[in-house]
Structure 1
Amino acid sequence: MREDIEFDAEGTTLRGWFYKAEGVSGQAPCIVMSHGFSCTKEMGLEPFAEAFSAAGLSCVVYDNRGLGASDAAPGKPRLEIDPWDQIHDYQHAITYAQGRPDVDASRIGVWGSSYSGGNAFVVAAIDRRVKAVCGQVPAVAGRRTFEANVPKEFWQAAWDGQAADRLARARGEAPAMIPVVTADPTQLAVLPTPDAYAFFSAYEGTAWRNEVTLRSTELGYEAGEFLKFVAPTPLLMVIAKDDNVVTPGEWSEEAYDTAAEPKRLVWIPGGHFDAYTGEAFEISSSAAREFFFEHLSHKVPDSALV
């Protein structure tokens, strides 16, 4: 029930998959789904999309620009994480979904995990085509995350390196790069924790690459600030109790408290990457499935809750 798709994002081709809603003969609600920092769609999103489609929800799953199967924007390098480009691409993916004859354009949900969990909240806050939003283990506090992951004595060096990189790129030089994860605690990386290394290193040799541009680490993106603007769109936040990679659970809960009703908070056991497997996956995927059914369907079929 999955087909390869591609669609235009104002001059950039994005590629991914469309999961047709099972058991639906006419137009179905659709969930637009995107992954976390530097990830590709193959890194744990299929089970969520399969769970949603089996319950009668279509899904658009795609690679962010410059990653995986998607093209980079003209004039920009691959492996660059620009949150606003990704937010706008969510909107292009919504437009693509709305243009399909098998999708009900009035019933669009947005789902994101990790970095895209934060992006999903921003999209829901600025685009009223979104009728429900779920952010799983979301990145909502950019500056606090930087300050927690990078020792204070290295802050100035990081900022100096970013400034030097901008000057070098203005001279036409290649962008500076930085590893996403590392097994060496003395090496600088974006996500320098052992569980991040364990998750990402399992995808060595795939479309994923263990590097992003240094510019991808610049401060200035605070997705959590948009939570207060999501209402009246229904919001679901899924938080891992022991998340120490992107946003600790208590930070996410503080951000959640700034959002207005209607909203729902679900806790899952384990750390950040446990959301993709085992008990935590079952809790998270079931909560999201039921949430989207509640807000995108007139009635939750009994079969969808088994």
Structure 2
Amino acid sequence: MSEDREKVRFLSGDAECVAWHYPGTNGACVIMTPGGGVTKEPGTDPFATRFHEAGFTVLALDYRHFGESGGRPRQVIRVKEQLADWQAAIDFAPTLPNVDPAKLAIWGFSLSGGHAVRLAARNPRLAAAIAQTPLADGRVAALKTMRHRKPLPMLRLLGRGLRDAVGSLLGKQPLLVPLAGEPDTVAFVTTPDGRDGDRALNPGNRYPEWQQTIAARTPLWFGFYRPGRAAPRVQCPLLILVCDQDQTAFAGPGVRTARRAPRGELVRMPGGHYEPFLDGHEQAAEAELSFLHRHLVPTR
């Protein structure tokens, strides 16, 4: 990770979001968010460092309810709030030193990769957007990942999710489940590549503060989230990077999203959901840097 970074804070709704600011030199800024249930350090550090070394300003934030950002209760994903947090970061970024408001890009992976499509559709002023192994179609993901769940744990997850949802209406604290686990456990993700998350994002327990849990109600809405449908409304260049053996978000919806975006670009690479953080990191980082340079700081 880069030592040349500082903590910054900005308001979103009724809470404060905390982000890392990496000062850049080329006038362009990449606003980054981590995947579902992931905090900014494990979820953005490897790519933020590469972008920063290439001269880009980076703003990498924690969503409300996670990491260092405010918001109660904790470990709860609220899509509308996450979109609002990222929007607040987009509005905040031009106030940073040496940032050209005409050279803003967004970057997200997994769930946030899906968010990136929706945010790009809402923000025609963005210069570019990157969605890495995005959750473009929750319905496809929910149906296909069921093959990696055993019946009894799946029923227990559903029951815990319903209790958590009812408890939230009564003001109770969230019932939590692990982000990932084996097919015979009660966990949010049980796919083979989904279980690579800790190895990919937290090697050697580099980020011990990362709480790898999520509110049990999350799977109840997951299958209804289909952000890829916003692709035709995205006016800026949109890079979709998919991994062909992705068994968590799946490549097909991402490919279709890239093809439906007016200025969509597609990069395909082998591997599972977290391959861009593993052996495929160099390939993914180079592809994304090439895209950012072409659309934010083109050479004359």
The verdict on how the C-alpha distance between 1:49 and 1:174 changes in structure 2, with shifts beyond 3 A counting, is closer
Return closer, same or farther for 1:44/1:162 CA change in 2, 3 Å cut-off: closer
Deviations 1:139-190 (A, max 9, x none): 11112211222359677776565444333332333222222111x4311211
Matched residues in 1 for 2:188 and 2:289: separation?
Answer: 31
CA distance, structure 2, for counterparts of residue 171 and residue 250 of structure 1:
39
Unaligned runs of 5+ in 1: 301-306
Q: Secondary structure at the match of 1:69?
A: coil
Superposed, which structure 2 residues align to 1:134-149 within 5 Å?
A: 134-149=130-145
Matched, 1:5 2:8: yes
CA distance in 1, matches of 2:31, 2:269: 22
Q: What residue number does 2:169 align with?
A: 170
- 2:129 corresponds to: 133
How far apart are residue 119 of structure 1 and its match?
A: 0.7
Please show how residues 106-117 of structure 1 align to structure 2 within 5 Å: 106-117=102-113
Give the match for residue 293 of structure 1: 293
CA gap 1:21/1:9 in 2 versus in 1, 3 angstroms: same
Check the 8 A contact 2:196/2:274 in 1, yes or no.
no
Structure-2-length-normalised TM-score: 0.87
Q: CA RMSD in A?
A: 2.3
Residue 94 of structure 1 corresponds to 90
Q: Does 1:243 pair with 2:246?
A: yes
Q: TM-score, normalised by structure 1?
A: 0.86
Cα pair 1:38 1:81 within 8 Å, conserved:
yes
Equivalenced residue count is: 288
Once the two structures are overlaid, the 10-residue window that deviates more, 88-97 or 289-298, is 289-298
Q: Does 1:210 align with 2:212?
A: yes
Q: 1:104 to 1:238 in 2, by over 3 A?
A: same
Measure how far apart 1:44 and its partner are: 4.9
Conservation of the 8 A alpha-carbon contact between 1:117 and 1:136: yes
Q: Unmatched 5+ residue regions in structure 2?
A: none
Report the Cα distance in structure 2 between the residues aligned to 1:281 and 1:44, rounded to whole angstroms.
13
Aligned residue in 2 for 1:266 = 267
| Identical residues among aligned pairs (%) | 27
8 Å Cα contact 1:38-1:208 kept in structure 2: no
- 1:180 counterpart letter in structure 2: L
Comparing 201-210 with 44-53, greater Cα deviation is found at 201-210
CA distance in 1, matches of 2:167, 2:121: 36
Matches of 1:68 and 1:273, distance apart in 2: 20
**Shift of residue 267, structure 1, vs aligned partner:** 1.1
Question: Among 181, 198, 201, which residue is 1:200 paired with?
Answer: 198
Match of 2:259 in 1: 257
1:83, 1:221 within 8 Å by CA — same for their partners in 2? Answer: no
Deviates more, 1:284-293 or 1:251-260: 251-260
Cross-structure match for 1:68:
67
Question: 8 Å contact 2:238–2:258 — kept in the other structure?
Answer: no
TM-aligned CA distance change 1:78 to 1:108, over 3 Å: same
**SS of residue in 2 equivalent to 1:16:** strand
What does residue 282 of structure 1 align with? 282
- 1:70-110, CA deviations, whole angstroms, 9 ceiling, x for partnerless residues? 112xxx31100112211111111111111123211121100
